[in-house]
Amino acid sequence: MAEAPPPPPPPGPQIEVTSVDLNPAEECAFEDGLGLAIGFSSDSDLQGFRWCVNYVVDTAKRRYIVQVGATQPEDYVQGHNAMTFLAEGLSIEEVPKALWQQTNGLLVATLTGPTGEEAMAVNMVVQIRVDESGELRRYIFNPME
């Protein structure tokens, strides 16, 4: 019996993430800023694409999505590309209590086209905890490690 051919790739550009760098790369205060760099390859040019970064938490009652920020639209070429993203820290007063009471969430960086289409997303698990002194701490797991 012959093997079935592999399914065709999904429509749209084919993108492969080659690296993810986080700063800070270790546990830090919840309110600290965030630096993110993603290396990726694309099989086609991407005109006017941007990266949207959100923090997503599912609670028993609903899903919360906090917009962390976005890069400016950029033209990426076929082949290897890189993005960098910097965000100031979040004030704990700006985040609903239901969010930081959850111990796990996702930091999602989505490559988005000029008309809002999502080309791909990089999901990073975020752990939240309260340390011995009562300070809220976060750790983001690098999906490439």
Residue 5, domain member (yes or no): no
Residue 125, domain member (yes or no): yes
d(CA 119, CA 143): 18
Residue 145, domain member (yes or no): no
Greater pLDDT, 6 or 43? 43
d(CA 18, CA 122): 11
d(CA 145, CA 42): 21
pLDDT at residue 1 tops 70: no
- Write down the pLDDT at residue 91: 67
Q: Give the domain CATH number at 92.
A: 2.60.40.1490
**Beta-bridge partners for 125:** 106
Model confidence pLDDT, tens digit, residues 55-102: 898 888 888 888 899 999 999 999 999 999 999 877 667 666 766 677
